[in-house]
Amino acid sequence: MVYGLILLLLFAACGEDKPQPLSIQVVPAKLLGDTKGSEYANWDTVEFTGGGAAVTYLVASEPLLTEWNIVACKIADGGSQTKIVAARLNAYGSKKMQEFSDNTVNLKQPLGLKIGDRWANFNPLLNQVQDRILLRGFTAAEAEQFQRDLADR
């Protein structure tokens, strides 16, 4: 009887579900009015109301970066109850972002930051990326969860 109870507790402890890792995507974006031509046919439409008025963006179907391209991060206060994640990229993510930011036109175009199912912001790069990038718009809980996810990998 005691052994059965111990086995039951052991199986219950092993069966606990861990929370799903937080999904992060950095996606090229364009204002809806700036998109003409068939090259944007496969892009998705996103309505974003981050700064007040709703703005419609087209976002690429494939992200430039995901959470798997980030190897380390530090969290900073972004004001207005948001956090900034200063992320260090792996070699693949760094190379991809360097190639993207080598085209100076891309530096002024918005990049969408999707955290889980939520679009956090659409800010341009403004500067070339080497092996680090600032991701703005995390909540405190999201930033802490992401930091834990990185530590658990």
pLDDT one-digit tens code per residue, 42-89? 899 999 987 778 899 999 999 999 999 999 999 999 887 899 999 999
What is the pLDDT confidence band of residue 3, given thresholds at 50, 70 and 90?
Answer: low
Count the Cβ atoms, other than its own, within 10 Å of residue 44: 13
- Kindly state the average pLDDT of the residues 102-123: 95
For the chain, the domains span: 22-28+61-152
The predicted pLDDT at position 17 comes to 63
Whether residue 121 is predicted with pLDDT greater than 60 in this model: the reply is yes
Highest mean pLDDT out of 3-17, 27-41, 110-124: 110-124
Q: Which CATH number is associated with domain 22-28+61-152? A: 3.30.1360.200
What is the pLDDT confidence band of residue 4, given thresholds at 50, 70 and 90?
Answer: low
Q: What is the pTM of this model?
A: 0.83
Count the Cβ atoms, other than its own, within 10 Å of residue 64: 21
Distance CA(131)–CA(70), nearest Å, equals: 10
Whether residue 16 is predicted with pLDDT greater than 80 in this model: the reply is no
The predicted pLDDT at position 39 comes to 81
Whether residue 131 is predicted with pLDDT greater than 60 in this model: the reply is yes
The predicted pLDDT at position 61 comes to 92
What is the pLDDT confidence band of residue 137, given thresholds at 50, 70 and 90?
Answer: very high
